[in-house]
Amino acid sequence: MSTEQTLFDRIGGEATFEQLVSHFYALVSVNPILRPMYPDDDFQAAAERLMLFLIQYWGGPHTYSEMRGHPRLRMRHAQFLIDSKARDAWLACMKSAVDELKIEESDRAELWNYLEMAAQSLVNTPE
């Protein structure tokens, strides 16, 4: 049996990702830059998609791909105008949510480094 533990397991599994994403979306829902980009009637579903994606990425169940197929994040974000302001707004909401988690600092750093890199990779609109 492997003794390697995934970050998903180390930080507390699904419950921790649920907490992260629900805090994040509470902030998105009142953010003037981000709120208009998200579907009015489907906020809960959007939160679920992000949560399932992150769970899968960090070594948990692959429910995201069973439901949505290959993530193709750049393609799925192409319809939104993501400039550095939108990226920074997204990261600011995510930073507060990540900072609230009761997890090891090394895991927090690993999670945050990935999120920063991923957000940068989704910028698709130059100033």
> Under the rule (CB under 6 A), what is the footprint of ligand HEM?
37-39, 42, 46, 49-50, 53, 68, 73, 76-77, 80, 82, 86-87, 90, 115, 118-119, 122
Nearest CB to ligand HEM, comparing residues 73 and 104: 73
Least distance from C-beta 84 to ligand HEM, angstroms?
9
Least distance from C-beta 127 to ligand HEM, angstroms?
15
Secondary structure (DSSP) of the chain: ------HHHHTTHHHHHHHHHHHHHHHHTT-TTTGGGS-SS-HHHHHHHHHHHHHHHTTS--HHHHHH-S--HHHHHTTS---HHHHHHHHHHHHHHHHHS---HHHHHHHHHHHHHHHHHT-----
Nearest CB to ligand HEM, comparing residues 106 and 125: 125
Nearest CB to ligand HEM, comparing residues 20 and 86: 86
Least distance from C-beta 15 to ligand HEM, angstroms?
19
